[in-house]
Chains A and B, each alone.
Chain A
Amino acid sequence: MRRFATERAKKLIVGSFLSSRSPSPSSHLLSSSAAAAASAMGSTQSPPVTLDSINPKVIKCEYAVRGEIVSHAQRLQQELQTKPGAHPFDEILYCNIGNPQSLAQQPITFFREVLALCDHPSILDKSETHALFSADAIARAWQILDLIPGRATGAYSHSQGIKGLRDAIAAGIAARDGFPANADDIFLTDGASPAVHMMMQLLIRSEKDGILCPIPQYPLYSASIALHGGSLVPYYLDEATGWGLEISEVKKQLEDARSKGIAVRAIVVINPGNPTGQVLAEENQREIVEFCKKEGLVLLADEVYQENIYVENKKFNSFKKIARSMGYGEQDISLVSFQSVSKGYYGECGKRGGYMEVTGFSADVREQIYKVASVNLCSNISGQILASLVMNTPKVGDESYESFIAEKNGILSSLARRAKALEDAFNSLEGVTCNKAEGAMYLFPRLHLPQKAIEAAKVVNAAPDAFYARRLLDATGIVVVPGSGFGQVPGTWHFRCTILPQEDKIPAIISRLKAFHESFMEEFHD
């Protein structure tokens, strides 16, 4: 009916336009005919944007970190307010997401001082400012503002980010690695995630393009690959060896994918790992670099947890450092390194600051990367400034150095203690084994669930780890993410729990966890 009426309306419009030949907009000619057409219509067509007609890649994409269990937790949280006493806990503890400041971690004072001054530069000229801000924060703000044309922090910057800030970040990278870095290789983005999306967009032409991803992985990768219509090629980390990365496994998966006609374009390596927390050994990293060079793979190095290392015997080495120390340069390996202001000891998730350092690509490809970045004009300036601060912290002798170091070490040592306390707690539970969190912000314990529990899960159409996580939430208010959200060896079950609740809350969390687990195992023991 609507289509018929549309045809009729069109004829009327065309007819009247041709007869009048007026160059003015024919909207006035349309009025009466359109009105007639409109009144003759019923809504027989389904609206343009419904579940059936949206991009199927959107439907396919999943992201468990803010998925179903979190929605349920939010409902419970509402109920705690409207019906106090309705649940056996009085607060929801969000251990599902690496969001430190939402769990009372304090920001680094020096960083916030500089950011506040950059947000409101007109107070820099006032004498009262010295009463409120440290001298080196004021100096750093001046220095940063001088890098910004017109000191205009409200202006769009260069699409890769402010040049002077990229210089500072490049200097920070060089100081960290002992190998030079180039400001032109750096793309500042609204967090590391948009940079990951950009690379996936560039790399994926169709579902025949595959990206090697660790299993378990942070589900940004699986989601991004789905959104861009590619194929995820899994390589399994070895739980038995502390989530070790075996090159033989990667090679096997690569060959398997190729035999199925998949062009494997890149490999994602998350170091330190998420959710697994392992820090790669140098030898391991060299194997990976060699492998990428030989197989013609882009190495996508997610290094956002580079400042979260909790074990004495491991340290962070960037893949760029490893590659360069092997004598490999721009001609030898295509490497993208991702860093963020959201993690480390700074935990500034809400700022959306981050960058990718892109090396080993030809000029015409870099032009394309720049072009895609330019469509969004630029990332938020405050986040850019913060990224430069993270890569260039106060030095010995600076006024803020002592307090900065105290804050930094305080947070990192507390994270290390919490990682250990929770690891021990999980290992003390019947049927639970938990690898050490060498780095990052998570524990990923394995649940050896009794058959009865697995069956009970089946009955309610849930994966066993989702079933467990839901029960845990309902009993204790603790929110974790089922392992199926990250991928795991089929038939094994895990969940990811952050180490982020404040230290004084940890004992209570552990005791509630234990109590719940005991009663769960009691209920379902074989």
Chain B
Amino acid sequence: MTPKPLDYESLNENVKKVAYAVRGELYFRASELQKEGKKIIFTDVGNPHALGQKPLSFPRQVVALCQAPFLLDDPNVGLLFPADAIARARHYLSMTSGGLGAYSDSRGIPGVRKEVADFIERRDGYPSDPELIFLTDGASKGVMQMLNTIIRDEKDGILVPVPQYPLYSAAISLCGGSLVPYYLEEEANWGLDFYNIHQSVAAAHSKGITVRAMVIINPGNPTGQCLSEANIRELLKFCFQENLVLLADEVYQQNIYQDERPFVSARKILFDMGPPISKEVQLVSFHTVSKGYWGECGQRGGYFEMTNLPSQTVDEIYKVASVSLSPNVPGQIFLGLMVNPPKAGDISYLKLVQESKAVLESLRRRAHIMTDGFNSCRNVVCNFTEGAMYSFPQIRLPLKAIEAARKAGKAPDVFYCLKLLEATGIATVPGSGFGQKEGVFHLRTTILPAEEDMPAIMTSFRKFNDEFMEQYEDYRGYSRM
């Protein structure tokens, strides 16, 4: 048979190299089992609404009114929508070039970008320029765009934390670049190890790779650690010394579950440090409506903010953005509402605060329930989820289990996670999907199942785990030291 134009052999190699475990083997198996009627608990993606978290009321009211502006003229509209939602809908509609159905400016609606800039200024205490803020269909598209701008060929390296959210490894593969890993220290609460970072850079250099950028994810995904101000200062100094652009993924900035290290943005620290660093280090910061207490993943709303990039580069990025015409307008409005929510005194303020607090306080409790739950299981050690939405326990797999996995043709953590799924319906993502040190295994789960379901889930997990360990261990009483 004649070779077909798009046979597997003739695909772009970069595409073939891409791996994105979050929607990989475990997800497929879970979907198959679900079709067969098994109850599946999807703790594989940071997708709050899929696990019962309710959307905040106010943004949904505003966007619904923007979708159907003829409602605004209806005398009965006040029966269903509060006055401040009605006013806000008019406000956003007036900012658009013809309602939700018109392409906006390719960088996003100027009025919304101004709201984002104001938010950044309030948060950090430094002014922000709306012209350097580009809205995107979710933060992921922004990350893709920036990496595509930076990476010229496989000799360009990007420093990425390990474990990492595999958007970064996937995007680097797609763009034909090289991933330069820096390992986070699990024993030090997933802390930074600058010795290791320097070694990674040196190793890259010896392979002829030019390291161009450094990714930080703060709070971390899958690891959840929150960087301290001192950490960020060191990172910025490092980027200054090594001439790297810092890509700061800050999408979980609202998800903080401890009080020792509140969120502080890379940009704030950059400016706190003053010149030369504040003027020289190039920084791109990412944020989204998908996380926090909003969890509006399906809207695809996000932005990136550029600091210290030359205007010609910004123009080129704008040019590429214009090829896709514009980000989706409803997503832009969600973003505007997130950065500019109702204020004290507004009709919807109290309800919004109450809804938001409920989500955040529950997430904090669930972070504890899950961490403690994992730590009570045999051969499982779990750092506390300081932030973000995930738990990343280390599963100390006995040798027999590792052998069984090899026999089954699976990576050990994949083997464990598949067994977990089949026994309990809990769908997780194996640690190999995020990167980990050789011979150390993890899984990523989310802290998103409903609070009332958590105890049962942890009990179910413990039962499976302890039976698994029983089955594969050579002796009892594995020392935790």
Contacts and interface: CB of A to CB of B under 8 A. Distances in A.
Interface in A320-379: 334, 342, 347-352, 360-362, 364-365, 368, 371-372, 374-379
A279 interface: no
B188 A334 contact: no
A155 interface: yes
Nearest to A336: B6
Nearest to A370: B23
A129 B80 CA distance: 7
Given A9-B241, A97-B103, A132 B140 contact: no
Interface string B216-239: 000000000000001100100110
B104 A350 contact: yes
Which of B65, B103, B144, B298 is most buried by chain A, counting CB atoms within 10 A of its CB?
B298
Interface string B305-323: 0001110110011011011
B300 A112 contact: no
A6 B241 contact: yes
A382 B299 contact: yes
Contacts of A129: 80
A296 B242 CA distance: 48
Nearest to B78: A128
Interface in B14-69: 14-16, 18-20, 22-24, 45, 47-50, 52, 55, 57, 60-61, 63-65, 67-69
Interface string A485-500: 0000000000000000
B327 A47 contact: no
A48 B61 contact: no
B406 to A, nearest CB: 24
A376 B138 contact: yes
A202 B12 contact: yes
A107 interface: yes
B209 to A, nearest CB: 14
Contacts of A334: 4-6
Given A30-B234, A352-B137, A155 B104 contact: no
B7 interface: yes
B5 A101 contact: no
A66 B6 CA distance: 32
Nearest to B12: A205
Nearest to A23: B187
B149 A120 contact: no
B292 interface: no
Which of A123, A131, A154 is most buried by chain B, counting CB atoms within 10 A of its CB?
A154
A122 interface: yes
Interface in B94-118: 96-104, 106
A233 interface: no
Contact of A104 (B5, B98, B100, B230): B98
A49 to B, nearest CB: 5
Nearest to A126: B80
A296 B6 CA distance: 9
A381 B2 contact: no
A334 B300 CA distance: 31
Interface string B170-206: 1100110000000001011001111100100010000
Interface residues of A, number: 119
A54 B299 contact: no
Contact of A132 (B71, B137, B141): B71
Which of B61, B277, B319, B328 is most buried by chain A, counting CB atoms within 10 A of its CB?
B328
Nearest to A229: B176
B98 A362 contact: no
B241 A368 contact: no
Contact of A99 (B103, B244, B282, B313): B103
A62 interface: yes
Contacts of B61: 120
B3 interface: yes
A491 to B, nearest CB: 27
Interface string B264-275: 000000000000
Contacts of A27: 191-192, 194, 230-231, 234
Interface string B66-103: 01111100101101100000000000000011111111
Interface string B360-373: 00000000000000
Contacts of B310: 47, 49-51
B243 interface: yes
B408 interface: no
Contact of A48 (B138, B198, B213): B213
Given A6-B241, A377-B140, A348 B297 contact: no
A350 B103 contact: yes
A38 B241 contact: yes
Contact of A296 (B3, B64, B152, B195): B3
A153 interface: yes
A45 to B, nearest CB: 5
B194 A25 contact: yes
A2 interface: yes
B49 A43 contact: no
Contact of B323 (A115, A190, A224, A352): A224
Contacts of A131: 76, 79
A360 B330 CA distance: 35
Contacts of B6: 202-203, 265, 298, 334, 361-362, 365
Interface residues of B, number: 121
A215 interface: no
Nearest to B46: A156
A186 to B, nearest CB: 17
A377 B151 CA distance: 22
Contacts of A239: none
B160 to A, nearest CB: 15
A265 B282 CA distance: 39
A128 B80 contact: yes
B280 A47 contact: yes
A368 B12 CA distance: 10
A190 B300 contact: yes
Contacts of A150: 49-50, 52
B102 A350 contact: yes
B99 A101 contact: yes
A277 interface: no
Interface in A86-139: 97, 99-105, 107, 109, 112-113, 115-117, 119-120, 122-123, 126, 128-129, 131-132
Interface string B118-156: 000000000000000000011011001000111110000
B443 interface: no
A380 B319 contact: no
A26 B323 CA distance: 45
B24 to A, nearest CB: 8
A58 interface: yes
B152 A220 contact: no
B322 A63 contact: yes
A350 B301 CA distance: 13
Contacts of B249: none
A51 B314 CA distance: 9
B325 interface: yes
A193 to B, nearest CB: 5
A434 B333 CA distance: 41
A59 B96 CA distance: 30
A122 B102 contact: no
Given A365-B6, A381-B299, A55 B148 contact: yes
Contacts of A364: 8
B331 A132 contact: no
Shortest beta-carbon contacts, A-B, top 10: A350-B329, A374-B23, A120-B64, A381-B298, A102-B102, A155-B50, A352-B328, A152-B49, A101-B101, A66-B322
23 contacts: A13-B198, A24-B185, A27-B192, A31-B230, A38-B237, A49-B309, A59-B316, A102-B98, A109-B70, A150-B49, A154-B55, A155-B50, A156-B290, A156-B298, A201-B15, A227-B148, A296-B2, A349-B101, A371-B20, A375-B171, A377-B297, A380-B330, A383-B328
Given A58-B319, A296-B3, 14 more contacts: A10-B198, A41-B241, A45-B243, A47-B308, A48-B213, A55-B152, A132-B79, A152-B298, A156-B47, A191-B325, A202-B11, A296-B5, A298-B5, A350-B96
